[in-house]
Structure 1
Amino acid sequence: MALQRLGIQHLRIFSNLINHQAQLNVHRNQSVLASPDNPRILITGGLGQLGTGLAKILRQKYGKDNVIMSDILKPSKEVVESGPYIFADILDFKCLQEMVVNNRIDWIIHFSALLSAVGEQNVPLAIRVNIEGLHNVMELAKQYRLRIFVPSTIGAFGPESPRNPTPNLCIQRPKTIYGVSKVHGELLGEYYYHKFGLDFRCLRFPGVISSDTNPGGGTTDYAVQIFHDALKTRQFQCYLKPDTRLPMMYITDALRSLCEFMALPPEALKQRTYNVTAMSFTPEEIVKSVQRHVPDLQVTYAPDSRQQIADSWPQVFDDSEARAEWNWKPQYDIDGMVDIMVEALRPKYKN
């Protein structure tokens, strides 16, 4: 009886292997037949700062139904009407697998993550979301031969890294769980690329400034909050010191860099992870730029725990390799970004 049970177990294992391989072969055939000009794209964490804007751009380029947004949040009516939206818990591997297969996904844009300050308040949850969730999407990308993008950050560097400028390749010893998880993602992606041929792509973003979303707890979010406070109350309290210099980027540049990067053929990339940036400024400098529009803006400084995080991050980002190897070039400087942000948000706070 024991031998008989063992034989049945072996048959089940063999059958599962055959079925698994058949699924892989079907998807590979679909990937080969799919037009490279019309990829099917899944965006995880799609309701975050970058997701909605990116979905709009990609839908214009590849077709409305080819870009699927996903998140664990209830979407607005506008999001639902703009194109496909699916509930997706990145910690549920089978749910993600079903989504990839049923929707014939070719690319995954993986935005789901807890940001720096929020992650420090709940380290176990940050590990689950930022690391376990990453493992799930990376394994699916390997299994179904998908192109995968995972964003990284200036937070992937630490106080031992060169800070002005911070090159593409240098020592990385971050002091936040957010940064640790991002370095883990960079290295795991590199490993999967060399070991399995995974088309892994990663950009290290600086602080991203946008008028479309509210500040979300990140260390660089003061550079978004200042616009809301300036236009609403004419008073702004900054949680960083006035001379704290950090790299920044207007969201239009950030999204354009991602789209240009993802559209490149694999053979055009000399590495898998690149720094990208547009400008570097201090709270004092952005205050002066905002005061061109709101002259009576009053500012106070009350550094909190985020100051320690900022002091461990790059002051100036060196993105010369992205500029040289795939012609990356930002369009917005600090004054150009401030002009657009004020113009976009002023109607919201008109009396």
Structure 2
Amino acid sequence: MERILITGALGQIGTELTLKLREKYGEGNVLPTDIKAPEDDNLKGLPFEILDVRDMERMKGIVSEFRPDTMLHMAALLSATAEKNPQFAWDINMVGLMNALETAREYDLKFFTPSSIGAFGPSTPKENTPQVTIQRPTTMYGVNKVAGELLCDYYFEKFGVDTRSVRFPGLISHVKEPGGGTTDYAVEIYFEAVRNGAYTSFIDKSTNMDMMYMDDAIDAIIKLMEADPDQLVDRNAFNVTAMSINPEMVANEIRKHIPGFTLDYDVDPVRQGIAASWPNAIDASEAKRQWGFQPKYTLEKMTETMLEAIRNKK
């Protein structure tokens, strides 16, 4: 990667991804885009383009002018939000992806878009979920992600577009607060622990889900995109994860730093149903073997980092 265009740059991953890429590749070589202007002070006043990913002509115009060699297509609606408006989710997640792939084909761009553990469903093996396994999701978000994986593989096989992807678990960050995902509790719990010393979880106590700290997620994107293509047996998409956790496990770690922290439950049937359809723990061995994926953050290290960073925001 030398010149990088990012769509959905103000989303869950995009802001931190933009900052890390500018630090690594140079400010002038990374162009973030999104449907609205940035409010984050770290992005204000720097190169930025307004882009609705459903507008392919606008997308091609930006690419033609900026001349990137890589597109990181991050624009998407997350799981719980997508369930509330399936048609809109299809338009953003699938029409946007098709436009991005067509642009990548026409301009010969390396291409990344994230998939998700949401691409799995109730019939997927729950424990040690393999890289290649049955994928029959029961949500619009999951359907979008499976279709997206297949579409990216199609563009690789049919047109030679260098497409790559990972299946992200829940991503945890102190920079960007939650935006409509089923795993949002694992971010909210840290903010509420610092602010109020208590949290009410919408996910049930015994529900294990895969998670990853945002720094590890961003490092995974960069490492995969820098990998020698001859190393990659799989492409769309690699299982990645750092930990399999439930709300009680997070609460117990928080209590090591905030002894009086209390955790209650008010389970949301929609998000709980989505969570129950996903694996408890996935197997990321192929990502480790094929391109050296190796997360640095454990639950303990992540908890300490999150609480310290949130306290410093107050």
Q: Which has the higher contact order (CA 8 A, sep 6+)?
A: 2
Find the counterpart in structure 1 of residue 272 from structure 2.
307
Q: 2:145 aligns with which of 157, 179, 182?
A: 182
Task: Compute the displacement of 1:82 (Å).
Answer: 6.7
**Residue 334 of structure 1 pairs with residue 299 of structure 2:** yes
Q: 1:325 aligns with which of 269, 290, 304?
A: 290
Secondary structure in 2 matching 1:258: helix
Task: Name the CA distance, whole Å, in 1 between partners of 2:281 and 2:194.
Answer: 29
Task: Name the CA distance, whole Å, in 2 between partners of 1:243 and 1:51.
Answer: 31
Contact 1:274 1:322 in 2 (8 A): yes
Q: TM-score, normalised by structure 1?
A: 0.87
Q: 2:250 aligns with which of 256, 264, 286?
A: 286
Secondary structure in 1 matching 2:129: coil
Q: 2:187 aligns with which of 224, 244, 256?
A: 224
Task: Name the CA distance, whole Å, in 2 between partners of 1:80 and 1:270.
Answer: 36
Task: Name the CA distance, whole Å, in 1 between partners of 2:234 and 2:149.
Answer: 11
Secondary structure in 2 matching 1:165: strand
Equivalent residues in 2 for 1:29-68, closer than 5 Å = 39-68=2-31
Task: Name the CA distance, whole Å, in 2 between partners of 1:327 and 1:244.
Answer: 29
Secondary structure in 2 matching 1:220: helix
Instruction: Write out per-residue CA displacement over residues 118-145 of structure 1, whole angstroms, 9 at most, x where no aligned residue.
Output: 0000111001000101110011111111
Q: Can you give the 5+ residue segments of structure 2 that lack an aligned partner in the other structure?
A: none
Inter-CA distance 288–77: structure 2 relative to 1 (3 Å threshold): closer
What amino acid is the match of 1:167?
P
Q: TM-score, normalised by structure 2?
A: 0.97
Instruction: Write out per-residue CA displacement over residues 278-309 of structure 1, whole angstroms, 9 at most, x where no aligned residue.
Output: 11111111010011111111211111110000
Task: Name the CA distance, whole Å, in 2 between partners of 1:107 and 1:248.
Answer: 27
Task: Compute the displacement of 1:55 (Å).
Answer: 1.3
Instruction: Write out per-residue CA displacement over residues 66-91 of structure 1, whole angstroms, 9 at most, x where no aligned residue.
Output: 10000012212624447321101101
Find the counterpart in structure 1 of residue 231 from structure 2.
268
**Residue 97 of structure 1 pairs with residue 60 of structure 2:** yes
Task: Compute the displacement of 1:58 (Å).
Answer: 1.3
Q: 1:196 aligns with which of 159, 170, 180?
A: 159
Structure 1 runs of 4+ off > 4 angstroms? none
Find the counterpart in structure 2 of residue 298 from structure 1.
262
Inter-CA distance 82–271: structure 2 relative to 1 (3 Å threshold): farther
Find the counterpart in structure 2 of residue 76 from structure 1.
39
What amino acid is the match of 1:211?
H
- Of residues 190-199 and 71-80 in structure 1, the stretch that sits farther from structure 2 once superposed is 71-80
- Of residues 87-96 and 260-269 in structure 1, the stretch that sits farther from structure 2 once superposed is 260-269
CA RMSD after TM alignment? 1.1
Q: Can you give the 5+ residue segments of structure 1 that lack an aligned partner in the other structure?
A: 1-35
Secondary structure in 1 matching 2:60: helix
Percent of aligned pairs with the same amino acid: 44
Inter-CA distance 232–80: structure 2 relative to 1 (3 Å threshold): closer
- The structure with the larger Rg is 1
Task: Name the CA distance, whole Å, in 1 between partners of 2:38 and 2:288.
Answer: 36
- Of residues 61-70 and 260-269 in structure 1, the stretch that sits farther from structure 2 once superposed is 260-269
Task: Name the CA distance, whole Å, in 2 between partners of 1:166 and 1:98.
Answer: 41
Contact 2:38 2:44 in 1 (8 A): no
Instruction: Write out per-residue CA displacement over residues 189-246 of structure 1, whole angstroms, 9 at most, x where no aligned residue.
Output: 1111111111000111100000001111100010000011111111210001101000
Task: Name the CA distance, whole Å, in 2 between partners of 1:79 and 1:139.
Answer: 31
Secondary structure in 1 matching 2:32: strand
Q: 1:246 aligns with which of 209, 231, 234?
A: 209
Find the counterpart in structure 2 of residue 345 from structure 1.
310
Contact 1:67 1:83 in 2 (8 A): no
Contact 1:208 1:251 in 2 (8 A): yes
The alignment of Structure 1 onto Structure 2 pairs a total of residues equal to 312
**Residue 206 of structure 1 pairs with residue 169 of structure 2:** yes
Task: Name the CA distance, whole Å, in 1 between partners of 2:200 and 2:40.
Answer: 34
Inter-CA distance 233–43: structure 2 relative to 1 (3 Å threshold): same
Secondary structure in 1 matching 2:128: coil
Inter-CA distance 202–234: structure 2 relative to 1 (3 Å threshold): same
What amino acid is the match of 1:151?
P
Secondary structure in 1 matching 2:165: strand
Instruction: Write out per-residue CA displacement over residues 239-298 of structure 1, whole angstroms, 9 at most, x where no aligned residue.
Output: 011010000000111110111111113222111121111111111110100111111112
